[in-house]
């Protein structure tokens, strides 16, 4: 019988932010825009007011006027996520990344070395808390569905194991919307049939569900309602792109503001690539206008790079290629694809290139930031206020 764990970081963005601002613990907090944009993550204190991820910051402010909004720090999230997934990899080689802060782990073969499933789950929670300073919840079960539902039941900062013989009793009292993959539309359809709990769905003839929801969806839902889930944990390949984006506080058409923000974003992306030992050739610029239209363009560089200046120059070329007449921009983003290991690429420096140039300077800057924090060393062009970005 498989042993599957689902590990989910609790209010991940908020918890990472609170490592630097512990004085805000216990207060309603969200990560995201203060007056524009969306809420990326909300503390449990803010959730008590109805604030939740994906909600507009404007609505969140109406629900909880006293909440503290914290600017996202994507570098910090990437760094903590990398550390968390390194812990997962030390437990089992079969780790399926669901998102930056969520994964399935196959624990079937770990018992002989690390102990029983609960011991392994508690070990994961302790290592994540000790090494990364953030809490996580763990669900352990024979299937992915029940493991994910178990981690939800364990929140915040807990562990729930569902034994094979407990699957039905765990599932059936819960509302239908708790089934992984049942969204608002399907929930509404089930409610119209008078089905509000998973147990009621399980005891409905499969043919009835198929007539109401479609042959495939009805059959799959009936099986899931009985805990039948044959999906296995599949190790996730390494990410093949690195990107970052920023939303402006106020829509802007100022070329200087946009160019500066593209430099800031390019620096973040390049830093992450160097930290991961990657270089890339394809650069994509994404623009979202004030009317929420989104466009993008890409170009392929002559040689792979992990340099800030090269990425910034490419982003500016793409910006110029749009031939826009001072449109008002809401958000900009830069992404690099076509990534390869830096050691796999042989680079030929130009004849007039100095022996020690920007590449060495950036690596030295990376070392300073790694030791003293993200604000220890920044480019002079980025030392002013972040005009309009959130």
| Residues making up the binding site for Mg(2+) | 8, 101
d(CA 347, CA 356): 14
d(CA 147, CA 143): 6
Whole-angstrom CA distances from 318 to 257, 297, 313 are 16, 6, 9
Binding site: residue ranges? 8, 101
d(CA 258, CA 155): 41
SS3 at position 318 = helix
Here the tokens at position 12 are 């991940």
CA atoms in the 13 A half-sphere facing the CB of 11: 23
Q: Which residues participate in catalysis according to the annotation?
A: 102
Contact 22, 6 (CB under 8 A): no
CA atoms in the 13 A half-sphere facing the CB of 306: 24
d(CA 320, CA 325): 10
SS3 at position 68 = strand
6, containing H or E segment = strand 4-9
336, containing H or E segment = strand 329-337
Residue with tokens 């490592």: 19
363, containing H or E segment = helix 358-372
* Cross-strand bridge partners of residue 331: 247, 288
Residue by residue, what is the 3-state secondary structure of 23-58?
HHCCCCEEEECCCCCEEEEECHHHHCCCCCCCCEHH
């Amino acid at each position: 019988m498989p042993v599957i764990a689902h590990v989910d970081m609790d209010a991940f963005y908020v918890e990472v932010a609170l490592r630097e601002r512990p004085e805000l613990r216990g207060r309603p907090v969200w990560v995201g825009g203060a007056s524009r944009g969306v809420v990326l993550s909300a503390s449990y204190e803010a959730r008590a007011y109805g604030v939740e991820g994906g909600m507009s910051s404007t609505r969140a402010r109406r629900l909880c006027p006293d909440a503290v909004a914290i600017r996202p720090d994507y570098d910090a999230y990437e760094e903590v996520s990398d550390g968390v997934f390194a812990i997962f990899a030390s437990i089992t080689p079969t780790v399926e990344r669901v998102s930056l802060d969520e994964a399935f782990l196959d624990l079937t073969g770990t018992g002989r070395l690390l102990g029983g499933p609960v011991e392994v789950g508690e070990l994961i929670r302790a290592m994540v808390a000790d090494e990364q300073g953030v809490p996580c919840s763990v669900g352990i079960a024979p299937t992915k569905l029940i493991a994910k539902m178990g981690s939800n039941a364990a929140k915040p900062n807990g562990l729930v194991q569902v034994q094979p013989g407990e699957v039905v009793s765990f599932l059936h009292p819960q509302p239908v919307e708790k089934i992984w993959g049942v969204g608002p539309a399907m929930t509404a359809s089930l409610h119209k049939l008078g089905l509000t709990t998973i147990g009621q769905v399980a005891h409905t003839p499969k043919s009835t569900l198929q007539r109401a929801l479609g042959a495939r969806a009805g059959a799959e839902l009936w099986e899931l309602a009985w805990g039948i889930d044959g999906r296995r944990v599949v190790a996730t390949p390494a990410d093949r792109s690195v990107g970052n984006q920023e939303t402006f506080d106020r829509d802007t058409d100022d070329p200087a503001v946009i160019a500066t923000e593209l430099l800031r974003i390019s620096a973040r992306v390049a830093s992450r690539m160097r930290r991961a030992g990657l270089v890339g050739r394809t650069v994509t610029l994404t623009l979202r206008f004030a009317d929420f239209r989104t466009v993008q363009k890409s170009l392929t560089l002559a040689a792979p790079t992990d340099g800030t200046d090269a990425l910034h120059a490419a982003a500016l070329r793409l910006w110029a290629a749009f031939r826009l007449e001072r449109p008002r921009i809401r958000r900009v983003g830069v992404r690099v694809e076509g990534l390869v290991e830096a050691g796999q690429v042989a680079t030929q420096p130009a004849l007039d290139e100095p022996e020690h140039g920007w590449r060495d300077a950036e690596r030295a800057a990376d070392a300073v930031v790694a030791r003293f924090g993200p604000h220890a060393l920044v480019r002079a062009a980025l030392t002013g206020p972040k005009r309009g970005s959130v």
